[in-house]
Structure 1
Amino acid sequence: MTDTDRPSSGSRPGPRLAAAWSSLGGDPDLLARVTTVERSGALPARLPVRETARACVGACALAAAELGARRAGPARRGHHPGPGVPAVRVDDGAVAAAFVSERHLLVDGRAPVSFAPLSRFWRTADGWVRTHANYPHHRARLLAALGTPDDPEAVAAVLAGRPAAEVEETVYAAGGLAVALRTPAAWAAHAQAAAVARRPLVERGRLDSAPARVLAPVDRDPLLPAAGLRVLDLTRVVAGPVATRTLALLGADVLRLDPPGLPELPDQHTDTGFGKRSALLDLPAGRDTFEELLAAADVVVTGYRPGALDRLGLGAEALAERRPGVVVAQLSAWGAYGPWAGRRGFDSLVQAATGIAVSEGSAGRPGVLPAQALDHGTGYLLAAAVLRALTEQAEEGGSRFVRLALARTAAWLLEGTAPTRAPGDDRTAAAPGPASASASASAPGADVSAGGSADDRFAETDSALGRLRYARSPVSFTDGPRDWARPPGPWGTDPARWNADPAR
């Protein structure tokens, strides 16, 4: 172990982990259970990406260890000194590998393609705009809004003659996805940024006076804090599925539900589908089936736009009324408040709007983080919030809600950074080419998962999808699980029902 890899003292956690744990309502004394292995080559960036990623994973692992200690059977309780909470270890190498898990995934030796040709930064008449067109319906709406054929050169020509703000509004009005590049200062002056800034990193609340949750002891090896709990997963893309993938690692029976007419990207589903089952259900037509699932669910995780599920009676209050004692975890891109609350969004777009892309840019060009860190970081925080809510329920009762937003995580990442000017209006600069199309491209030559043994960070397994090579979860605590109990299966092919034995 080199000097830069030496573990830091567990009794003196970094300020970002302390802030995340505080936002989750955790006992600050438990931070002494955390040790870290810091690796300076992991997730290189101008912004504190490595520290933020470490904090998100550390908070999640500590929340899992805390719940595990509560559920540990008598034979286990003497294993852990001090407050009885298992020791947590956060390794920057494992964290970095997991934060770019989509890049490490191999399916029968094939590497997935993460971003489509029209998902990138483009030059406009007065700056830059970021588009997202990975899904066919988003690509079609973008092209319809711009009036161009499906050709990057044609799109570039149209965008070069239009102001970025106009493109943003025109594409949004057509149901597509485009965001004008902003500096941190410009975003701070935006009404949506002001709405986000008024909220905590993790919003938490009690919905009713349901009785305290009774958690059965868990004596299994490994210790699975979420064993026997049922999680309805109504999320898509990355952040929400990362959260539910983590809950599955910890023993939960996770059932992901998707509408039949809204297909998922196969490789994206594979990367985030470990430990879970996947079923198709049309909520309006299959309402009786959904209500049966809800009646036996312990947790419901949603990742659709605020209001979209409310119209179907699936808001936090409505769910708790029908299923007292449930934990409702809500995730959005821009937040459940403010003028952009109803807008679609992805990690790459939030990076562009909030000033992150400017902060990471150079030579008149916008830049990107070394990972989709808003997605992954928010995903681990969301899982942590669910685990902490379950612990609080066991102590105080009550249905609970937790709420996070990519834009709020972005604000946290930017805290304490100096305002940065927008990339210059150098009209001779060409639009970024394919190498910069990804929202998570690394610096040249940087090892985003530096440190740690490959045997520790990666694993292989056979599955119905083929032979998979994948990044292990970075969530690690004494006696905890090292891997998922099952590989992902094909999207939407499982029955929409719970396992007969919820502990399996």
Structure 2
Amino acid sequence: MTGLTFAWSALGGDPALLPRVSTVVREGALQGRLPVQKLAPACVGACALAAAELAARRTGTTNVPEVRMDDGAVATAFVSERHLLVDGRAPETFAPLSRFWRTSDGWVRTHANYPHHRARLLDALGVPEDVDAVAAALAERSSVEVEEAVYAAGGLAVALRTTKEWAAHEQAIAVATRPLVERERLDTAHARVLAPITRTPSLPVSGTPLLPAAGLRVLDLTRVIAGPVATRTLALLGADVLRVDAPQLPELPDQHADTGFGKRSARLDLAADRRAFEELLAAADVVVTGYRPGALDRFGLSPEALAERRPGVVVAQLSAWGAYGPWRGRRGFDSLVQVATGIAALEGSVERPGALPAQALDHGTGYLLAAAVLRALTEQSYEGGSRCVRLSLARTAEWLVNGVEAGDAEDAGDAGGVLPYSGPEAWLAETDSALGRLRYARSPVSFAGGPVDWARPPVPWGTDPARWV
């Protein structure tokens, strides 16, 4: 089973639609020891096909628009944060204390990009903010000892494991038993009635694109890369996406710029501003969360609570380690999941760990999450029911390590033979914004008549009102 076939099946998609996808294959894109060059187009292709399917549903036709993917566009988008320029300045993607460190018995990787995570790391180690002091403290301890001590302090550090060591871990066993995309119908709410949209057979430069998510309100409660990539994609497809962040948890400006295209951004204290938050929830069609499983339940954001108050809602949940197993309550990021699951050892070695050619767990899971939302909306229009979809970076990692390479044949029709990947320039664009002049990667999600770019650039973090327009 090829990557696209597997991903589409995990989303509950009709296999008869797979021939609608064709790919321009480019040799040399996203090269590494693991098959990221197969995982990436599989995730993007599944998302684009889900968008095309919903577009057909909303235009009242059974003729699903053709999806044409390009490996160059996919490879460029999977490292979008590296291509971003703000007034000609390249962002810093990792802070000085976010890196691999030697321990007494191996390696550990820390994540300290955010000030509160950096403070907790230093508190756990009992050292000042000094690279040499951190290195000395870590060199005296075992990797697992560091992992447990830093997590106990609310920080982030993960011991390097091989794939064999991870496979024996209780969390890995729990992850492997779950589907790539968890899909659940929560109730028997009436079928969603989607307003019809206009089909554009061939999109002229000045024409109106076919927007399958037009008119849908998406409440975005995600941070970092995977969740924001998903909601950035839904914004591309016409959704009104409002990202809401807690005022006390500042965002990294460049990270926000990269994933903020098409969205509005507001700050809101969910506890203190309860009435405003409830008004947002009452009118949301989709709620996307990217916090630790259960962390937002006290605000009435469990799938069951949301479905009870807003019948017909689609709830999309993203986590690092999954909503099960002993690590379900742990924070995590792509770089840390790579280290725990054995990916870092495979891409390098136990003696000198490496990394994937992109933060592919984040980007791949993000496109799958958007695809799961789109498919849930399509299914609702036929069958009704509030829906919940769940994905995790660890489950995507398990697929990358053990599953994607199983399909050696091309996932989709050949749309032009094998071409070289000569660089990202063809898939980069520039725009003016309130943040400055931006160079950015275009979205790789493409189908006939669909949008070719976002309708609006990102805005400064937290500058919009916390209400729907």
Bin for the TM-score computed over the shorter chain: over 0.9
- Between the aligned partners of 1:281 and 1:406, the Cα distance in structure 2 is 27
* Alignment check: 8 A CA contact 1:226 1:251 kept: yes
Partner of 2:453: 483
- Between the aligned partners of 1:416 and 1:210, the Cα distance in structure 2 is 36
Residue pairs, 1:82-481, within 5 angstroms: 83-219=62-198, 221-362=208-349, 364-415=351-402, 450-451=421-422, 454-455=425-426, 457-481=427-451
1:49-88 per-position Cα deviation (integer Å, ceiling 9, x unaligned): 0100010000000000000011126xxx5xxxxx500000
Deviation at 1:114, TM superposition (A): 0.4
Secondary structure of the structure 1 residue equivalent to 2:158 = strand
Deviation at 1:154, TM superposition (A): 1.2
Secondary structure of the structure 2 residue equivalent to 1:165 = helix
Q: Larger deviation: 372-381 or 145-154?
A: 145-154
Secondary structure of the structure 1 residue equivalent to 2:241 = strand
* Alignment check: 8 A CA contact 1:324 1:399 kept: yes
Q: Report the residue type matching 1:465 in the other structure.
A: L
Q: Report the residue type matching 1:95 in the other structure.
A: V
TM-score computed with the length of structure 1 as normaliser? 0.87
Q: Report the residue type matching 1:36 in the other structure.
A: T
Task: Give the fraction of aligned pairs with identical amino acids, expressed as a percent.
Answer: 79
Deviation at 1:147, TM superposition (A): 1.0
- Between the aligned partners of 1:452 and 1:215, the Cα distance in structure 2 is 40
Partner of 1:11: none
Q: Deviation above 2 Å: which 4+ runs of structure 1?
A: 449-455
Deviation at 1:364, TM superposition (A): 2.2
Q: Larger deviation: 168-177 or 146-155?
A: 146-155
1:426-447 per-position Cα deviation (integer Å, ceiling 9, x unaligned): xxxxxxxxxxxxxxxxxxxxxx
Higher relative contact order (CA 8 A, sep 6+): 2
- Between the aligned partners of 1:453 and 1:402, the Cα distance in structure 2 is 32
TM-score computed with the length of structure 2 as normaliser? 0.94
Q: Label 1:128 to 1:453 Cα distance change in 2 as closer, same or farther (>3 A).
A: closer
Secondary structure of the structure 1 residue equivalent to 2:97 = coil
* Alignment check: 8 A CA contact 1:258 1:492 kept: yes
After superposition, the CA RMSD in angstroms is 1.4
* Alignment check: 8 A CA contact 1:72 1:223 kept: no
Partner of 1:37: 24
1:55 to 32, 42, 45: 42
* Alignment check: 8 A CA contact 1:209 1:399 kept: yes
Secondary structure of the structure 1 residue equivalent to 2:339 = helix
Gaps of 5+ in 1: 1-13, 78-82, 419-448, 500-504
1:354-394 per-position Cα deviation (integer Å, ceiling 9, x unaligned): 00001100482001000000000000000000000000000
* Alignment check: 8 A CA contact 1:92 1:451 kept: no
* Alignment check: 8 A CA contact 1:196 1:408 kept: yes
Q: Label 1:257 to 1:453 Cα distance change in 2 as closer, same or farther (>3 A).
A: closer
Q: Label 1:271 to 1:212 Cα distance change in 2 as closer, same or farther (>3 A).
A: same
- Between the aligned partners of 1:154 and 1:44, the Cα distance in structure 2 is 36
Secondary structure of the structure 1 residue equivalent to 2:27 = coil
Secondary structure of the structure 2 residue equivalent to 1:38 = strand
* Alignment check: 8 A CA contact 1:327 1:399 kept: yes
Q: Label 1:316 to 1:416 Cα distance change in 2 as closer, same or farther (>3 A).
A: closer
Partner of 1:439: none
- Between the aligned partners of 2:68 and 2:356, the Cα distance in structure 1 is 25
- Between the aligned partners of 2:423 and 2:394, the Cα distance in structure 1 is 31
1:83-104 per-position Cα deviation (integer Å, ceiling 9, x unaligned): 5000001111100100000010
Deviation at 1:157, TM superposition (A): 1.1
* Alignment check: 8 A CA contact 1:94 1:452 kept: no
Secondary structure of the structure 1 residue equivalent to 2:19 = helix
1:333-356 per-position Cα deviation (integer Å, ceiling 9, x unaligned): 000000000000000000000000
Secondary structure of the structure 1 residue equivalent to 2:26 = coil
* Alignment check: 8 A CA contact 2:162 2:350 kept: no
- Between the aligned partners of 2:403 and 2:236, the Cα distance in structure 1 is 34
* Alignment check: 8 A CA contact 2:2 2:404 kept: no
Q: Report the residue type matching 1:489 in the other structure.
A: V
* Alignment check: 8 A CA contact 2:99 2:109 kept: yes
1:90-132 per-position Cα deviation (integer Å, ceiling 9, x unaligned): 1111001000000100101000000000000111100100100
* Alignment check: 8 A CA contact 2:209 2:451 kept: yes
Q: Report the residue type matching 1:195 in the other structure.
A: A
